[in-house]
């Protein structure tokens, strides 16, 4: 009976339509160089405001899954990854496309993405209820440590050097501390602006940090390479060739799918890091490592599987602990909070239907993606000819009006401007944006639990270690901090330059 209700909920026409439209939207945005998957979600958020929670989450899921795949389209055709997650195997994809097999390559990555996504959802659906049962016994002490641990992990695995990741995180926490405080209700850093009493509104903040910052970066660099003439193979050949490649590499797909899901589940490590690691592992285990980087399907299959598996994996900490695994789930948590739902262990008992429908929607999105992604591949060369001078202004106006729609006040546009400029300056200073987003989302959670625990312990910091689980989490967090300090010292000594390249795109 329960299964019937669930299937009815998943296959509800309105939900299916939302998923279909969002996969098309995700293919479009993901394929555009300069528009990332996170930006696609940030622009989608104003619309989710008008949806019910399941529909909103399904929309986010469908958009991300397809956008991460579609990043391969411009990667293969222009050698410009549409999203950072496609960067790992862009050389292979482009070399194959130039050798006259653009469609085969893209169908390989589409199939790999879909299978990777499905592996990710299956792992997600089987692991999260178990984890939630453990997490449901947590008090404010454990909640504080867990949120802090999540934030610290984000610093640990993020792309840039430790001081830069920390700087980003603290900028996010600083943004989160604007507004009425939790302890006594005193307005902080509001500068007399009434609209700021509730804090810096989340949606304008995300739009500013992701969409506007990206537009500004596009404004100051010159127009990217244009799409040249490309010979395209017939659809039937491409499909058969792609399926053949996938069938040959079952083991690699399984390995990268499982690995990608785990990497995605680490706070701060998203689809891009999963793809890099899967590609490196694939190369090491390959019988023909010398072919990698010169147009080899193996790396594309493994990287493409891993980045979409990571999209699902990132939802594990988000759902179970309320700690986002990447920027997209950070935005999703913000959306759920806006809808009055608090992600965390209790959501599995209080809104079990929502969680199960979410898993169902995830599966459906990964299947529907094959159709939408296939259409995007067929239309790829047209898609990439949309001039930037028309695309960017449209995104700009959509950003401003989306932010305004949520707050109903011009303050939203000013927030978009301010945080857009901040996001731009951060990339200029080689500071990544993702940890800041975690800071914005988790700031209030960390402070709430910190203050509650402080009051319980009457200001005695050892109280944070009183309960068994809290003590373990506390010690693990402190150990991570120790490692971070050690790494920071090492990076400072070496000038911190070696890792700065990765911070450019988040």
Which residues, numbered 63-122, are part of the site for other proteins (CB under 8 A)? none
Total residues at the site for other proteins (CB under 8 A)?
73
Residue 44 contacts by C-beta under 8 Å, 6 or more apart in sequence?
Answer: 22, 25, 59, 60, 63
Among 414, 457, 463, 467, binds other proteins (CB under 8 A): 414
For the chain, counts of helices (H) and of strands (E): 23, 2
CB of 335 to other proteins, least distance (A): 16
Query: Which CB sits closer to other proteins, 130 or 429?
Result: 429
Residue 6 contacts by C-beta under 8 Å, 6 or more apart in sequence?
Answer: 353, 356, 357, 360
Among 225, 288, 389, 462, binds other proteins (CB under 8 A): 389
Using CB under 8 A as the binding rule, whether residue 186 contacts other proteins is answered as yes
The secondary structure of 18-76 as a DSSP string is: HHHHHHHHHHHHHHSTT--HHHHHHHHHHHHTTS-HHHHHHHHHHHHHHHHHHHHHHHH
Stretch that binds other proteins, among 22-30, 302-310, 319-327, 445-453 (CB under 8 A): 445-453
CB of 199 to other proteins, least distance (A): 13
Using CB under 8 A as the binding rule, whether residue 398 contacts other proteins is answered as yes
Residue 152 burial (C-beta neighbours within 10 Å; 0-12, 13-18, 19+): buried
Query: DSSP character for 307?
Result: H
Scanning residues 340 to 359, which ones bind other proteins (CB under 8 A)? none
Among 139, 177, 342, 381, binds other proteins (CB under 8 A): 177
Using CB under 8 A as the binding rule, whether residue 163 contacts other proteins is answered as yes
169 neighbors 152 (Cβ within 8 angstroms) = no
DSSP bridge pairs for 179: 188
Scanning residues 21 to 60, which ones bind other proteins (CB under 8 A)? 47, 50
Using CB under 8 A as the binding rule, whether residue 225 contacts other proteins is answered as no
Among 451, 452, 457, 478, binds other proteins (CB under 8 A): 451
Using CB under 8 A as the binding rule, whether residue 500 contacts other proteins is answered as yes
CB of 439 to other proteins, least distance (A): 9
287 neighbors 301 (Cβ within 8 angstroms) = no
Using CB under 8 A as the binding rule, whether residue 416 contacts other proteins is answered as yes
Among 157, 174, 280, 363, binds other proteins (CB under 8 A): 174
Region of residue 499 (phi > 0: left; psi between -120 and 50: alpha; otherwise: beta): alpha
Closest CA to 310 of 260, 357, 255: 260
Q: CA 478, CA 279: separation in Å to the nearest integer? A: 32
Query: Which CB sits closer to other proteins, 185 or 340?
Result: 185
Using CB under 8 A as the binding rule, whether residue 461 contacts other proteins is answered as no
Scanning residues 201 to 220, which ones bind other proteins (CB under 8 A)? 212, 215-220
Q: CA 4, CA 369: separation in Å to the nearest integer? A: 24
CB of 414 to other proteins, least distance (A): 5
Query: Which CB sits closer to other proteins, 2 or 220?
Result: 220
Using CB under 8 A as the binding rule, whether residue 497 contacts other proteins is answered as yes
Using CB under 8 A as the binding rule, whether residue 288 contacts other proteins is answered as no
Stretch that binds other proteins, among 244-252, 298-306, 319-327, 423-431 (CB under 8 A): 423-431
Question: In 3-state terms, what secondary structure has residue 187?
Answer: strand
CB of 172 to other proteins, least distance (A): 9
Using CB under 8 A as the binding rule, whether residue 152 contacts other proteins is answered as no
Using CB under 8 A as the binding rule, whether residue 483 contacts other proteins is answered as no
Q: Which long-range contacts (CB under 8 A, 24 or more apart) does 189-198 make?
A: 193/411, 195/407, 195/409, 195/411, 196/411
Six token digits for residue 505: 């795109």
x/- site string to other proteins, residues 122 to 141, per CB under 8 A?
Answer: --------------------
């Amino acid at each position: 009976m329960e299964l019937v209700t669930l299937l009815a909920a998943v296959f509800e026409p309105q939900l299916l339509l939302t998923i279909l439209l969002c996969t098309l939207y995700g293919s479009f945005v993901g394929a555009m160089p300069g528009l990332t998957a996170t930006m696609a979600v940030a622009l989608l958020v104003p619309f989710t405001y008008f949806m019910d929670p399941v529909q909103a989450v399904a929309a986010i899921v469908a958009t991300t899954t397809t956008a991460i795949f579609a990043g391969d389209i411009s990667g293969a055709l222009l050698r410009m990854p549409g999203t950072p997650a496609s960067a790992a195997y862009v050389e292979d994809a482009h070399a194959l496309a130039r050798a006259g097999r653009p469609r085969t390559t893209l169908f390989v990555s589409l199939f790999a993405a879909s299978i990777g996504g499905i592996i990710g959802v299956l792992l997600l659906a089987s692991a999260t209820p178990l984890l939630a049962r453990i997490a449901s016994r947590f008090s404010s002490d454990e909640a504080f440590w867990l949120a802090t641990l999540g934030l610290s992990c984000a610093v640990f695995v993020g792309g840039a050097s430790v001081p830069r990741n920390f700087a980003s995180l603290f900028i996010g926490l600083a943004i989160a501390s604007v507004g009425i405080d939790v302890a006594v209700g005193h307005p902080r850093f509001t500068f007399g602006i009434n609209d700021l009493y509730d804090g810096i509104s989340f949606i304008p903040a995300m739009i500013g940090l992701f969409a506007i910052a990206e537009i500004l970066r596009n404004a100051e660099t010159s127009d990217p390479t244009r799409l040249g003439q490309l010979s395209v193979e017939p659809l039937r050949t491409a499909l058969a060739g792609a399926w053949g490649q996938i069938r040959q590499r079952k083991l690699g797909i399984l390995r990268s799918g499982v690995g990608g899901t785990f990497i995605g589940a680490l706070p701060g490590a998203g689809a891009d890091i999963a793809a890099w690691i899967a590609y490196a592992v694939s190369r090491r285990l390959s019988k023909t490592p010398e072919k990698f980087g010169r147009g080899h399907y193996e790396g594309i299959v493994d990287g493409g599987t891993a980045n979409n598996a990571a999209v699902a994996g990132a939802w594990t900490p988000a759902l179970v602990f309320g700690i986002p695994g990447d920027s997209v789930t950070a935005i999703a948590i913000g959306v759920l909070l806006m809808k009055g739902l608090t992600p965390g262990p209790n959501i599995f008992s209080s809104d079990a239907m929502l969680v199960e429908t979410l898993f169902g929607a995830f599966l459906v999105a990964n299947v529907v993606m094959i159709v939408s992604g296939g259409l995007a591949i067929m239309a790829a060369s047209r898609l990439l000819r949309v001039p930037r001078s028309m695309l960017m202004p449209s995104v700009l106006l959509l950003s401003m009006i989306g932010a305004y729609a949520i707050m109903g006040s011009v303050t939203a546009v000013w927030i978009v401007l301010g945080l857009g400029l901040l996001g731009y300056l951060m990339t200029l200073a080689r500071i990544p944006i993702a940890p800041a987003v975690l800071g914005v989302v988790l700031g209030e959670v960390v402070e709430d639990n910190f203050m509650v625990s402080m009051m319980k312990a009457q200001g005695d910091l050892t109280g944070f270690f009183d309960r068994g689980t809290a003590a373990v989490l506390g010690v693990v967090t402190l150990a991570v901090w120790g490692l971070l300090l050690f790494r920071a010292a090492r990076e400072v000594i070496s000038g911190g330059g070696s890792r700065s390249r990765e911070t450019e795109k988040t």
